[in-house]
Structure 1
Amino acid sequence: MKRRLTIVLLFALPLILSTPVVAGAPATDEPKPNAAARPEPRADRPGWKARHERMNARVNKGN
Protein backbone atom coordinates (compact mmCIF):
# COMPACT_ATOMS: atom_id res chain seq x y z
CA MET A 1 0.00 0.00 0.00
CA LYS A 2 2.79 2.42 0.88
CA ARG A 3 4.62 1.63 -2.35
CA ARG A 4 1.48 2.28 -4.42
CA LEU A 5 0.99 5.65 -2.72
CA THR A 6 4.59 6.56 -3.43
CA ILE A 7 4.22 5.68 -7.10
CA VAL A 8 0.99 7.68 -7.39
CA LEU A 9 2.59 10.70 -5.75
CA LEU A 10 5.62 10.50 -8.01
CA PHE A 11 3.37 10.85 -11.04
CA ALA A 12 0.76 13.19 -9.57
CA LEU A 13 2.98 15.69 -7.79
CA PRO A 14 4.58 17.22 -10.91
CA LEU A 15 1.13 17.61 -12.47
CA ILE A 16 -0.26 19.28 -9.36
CA LEU A 17 2.70 21.62 -9.03
CA SER A 18 2.62 22.63 -12.69
CA THR A 19 -0.96 23.94 -12.58
CA PRO A 20 -1.17 27.71 -13.20
CA VAL A 21 -2.57 28.56 -9.76
CA VAL A 22 0.23 26.76 -7.93
CA ALA A 23 2.87 28.08 -10.30
CA GLY A 24 1.93 31.67 -9.45
CA ALA A 25 0.09 32.70 -12.61
CA PRO A 26 -2.71 35.23 -12.11
CA ALA A 27 -6.07 33.57 -11.63
CA THR A 28 -7.97 36.35 -13.43
CA ASP A 29 -9.63 36.08 -16.81
CA GLU A 30 -7.84 39.07 -18.27
CA PRO A 31 -7.51 39.04 -22.05
CA LYS A 32 -4.15 38.33 -23.54
CA PRO A 33 -2.15 41.45 -24.47
CA ASN A 34 -2.12 40.57 -28.17
CA ALA A 35 -5.87 39.91 -28.37
CA ALA A 36 -6.44 43.11 -30.36
CA ALA A 37 -3.68 42.24 -32.82
CA ARG A 38 -5.29 38.96 -33.87
CA PRO A 39 -6.99 38.95 -37.27
CA GLU A 40 -10.70 38.39 -37.69
CA PRO A 41 -11.49 34.67 -37.31
CA ARG A 42 -11.94 32.87 -40.63
CA ALA A 43 -11.20 36.09 -42.50
CA ASP A 44 -9.38 34.07 -45.14
CA ARG A 45 -12.57 32.22 -46.14
CA PRO A 46 -15.12 34.54 -47.77
CA GLY A 47 -18.75 33.68 -47.20
CA TRP A 48 -18.26 31.87 -43.90
CA LYS A 49 -20.58 34.20 -42.01
CA ALA A 50 -23.54 33.73 -44.36
CA ARG A 51 -23.00 29.97 -44.33
CA HIS A 52 -23.03 29.90 -40.52
CA GLU A 53 -26.12 32.09 -40.39
CA ARG A 54 -27.91 29.65 -42.71
CA MET A 55 -26.85 26.71 -40.53
CA ASN A 56 -28.02 28.47 -37.37
CA ALA A 57 -31.36 29.33 -38.99
CA ARG A 58 -31.81 25.68 -39.90
CA VAL A 59 -31.00 24.55 -36.36
CA ASN A 60 -33.17 27.17 -34.67
CA LYS A 61 -36.14 26.65 -37.00
CA GLY A 62 -37.86 24.27 -34.58
CA ASN A 63 -37.75 26.66 -31.63
Structure 2
Amino acid sequence: MIESLTNLHTGMQQSTQQTEVSAAVLAKSIETVEQAGENVESMLQAAGTPFTDPMIGQRIDLNA
Protein backbone atom coordinates (compact mmCIF):
# COMPACT_ATOMS: atom_id res chain seq x y z
CA MET A 1 0.00 0.00 0.00
CA ILE A 2 2.76 2.45 0.92
CA GLU A 3 4.61 1.59 -2.28
CA SER A 4 1.46 2.32 -4.32
CA LEU A 5 1.06 5.71 -2.68
CA THR A 6 4.73 6.50 -3.18
CA ASN A 7 4.48 5.56 -6.86
CA LEU A 8 1.33 7.67 -7.25
CA HIS A 9 2.98 10.65 -5.59
CA THR A 10 6.09 10.29 -7.76
CA GLY A 11 3.95 10.07 -10.88
CA MET A 12 2.06 13.21 -9.91
CA GLN A 13 5.32 15.09 -9.32
CA GLN A 14 6.66 14.02 -12.70
CA SER A 15 3.42 15.06 -14.38
CA THR A 16 3.60 18.48 -12.72
CA GLN A 17 7.20 18.92 -13.85
CA GLN A 18 6.33 17.92 -17.41
CA THR A 19 3.47 20.42 -17.44
CA GLU A 20 5.76 23.20 -16.21
CA VAL A 21 8.36 22.39 -18.86
CA SER A 22 5.72 22.26 -21.60
CA ALA A 23 4.36 25.64 -20.53
CA ALA A 24 7.86 27.15 -20.56
CA VAL A 25 8.57 25.74 -24.03
CA LEU A 26 5.25 27.07 -25.33
CA ALA A 27 5.94 30.52 -23.88
CA LYS A 28 9.38 30.60 -25.51
CA SER A 29 7.92 29.47 -28.84
CA ILE A 30 5.32 32.24 -28.73
CA GLU A 31 8.03 34.77 -27.89
CA THR A 32 10.19 33.55 -30.80
CA VAL A 33 7.31 33.78 -33.29
CA GLU A 34 6.39 37.24 -32.03
CA GLN A 35 9.98 38.43 -32.51
CA ALA A 36 10.11 36.93 -36.00
CA GLY A 37 6.90 38.78 -36.91
CA GLU A 38 8.34 42.04 -35.63
CA ASN A 39 11.50 41.46 -37.68
CA VAL A 40 9.46 40.88 -40.85
CA GLU A 41 7.42 44.01 -40.15
CA SER A 42 10.62 46.05 -39.69
CA MET A 43 12.07 44.75 -42.95
CA LEU A 44 8.88 45.58 -44.86
CA GLN A 45 8.78 49.07 -43.40
CA ALA A 46 12.46 49.65 -44.17
CA ALA A 47 11.97 48.50 -47.75
CA GLY A 48 8.85 50.61 -48.19
CA THR A 49 7.12 47.56 -49.62
CA PRO A 50 3.32 47.46 -49.38
CA PHE A 51 2.11 44.46 -47.44
CA THR A 52 -1.04 42.70 -48.58
CA ASP A 53 -2.79 40.16 -46.41
CA PRO A 54 -3.07 37.04 -48.61
CA MET A 55 -6.23 35.88 -46.83
CA ILE A 56 -8.29 38.98 -47.56
CA GLY A 57 -6.33 40.63 -50.36
CA GLN A 58 -6.30 43.92 -48.54
CA ARG A 59 -3.30 46.19 -48.09
CA ILE A 60 -2.20 46.46 -44.48
CA ASP A 61 -0.90 49.77 -43.15
CA LEU A 62 2.09 48.83 -41.01
CA ASN A 63 2.40 52.38 -39.71
CA ALA A 64 -1.03 52.41 -38.06
The two structures have a TM-score, normalised by structure 1, of 0.30
- Which fold has the larger relative contact order, with Cα–Cα distance below 8 Å and residues 6 or more apart in sequence? 2
The two structures have a TM-score, normalised by structure 2, of 0.30
More strand by percentage: 2
More helix by percentage: 2
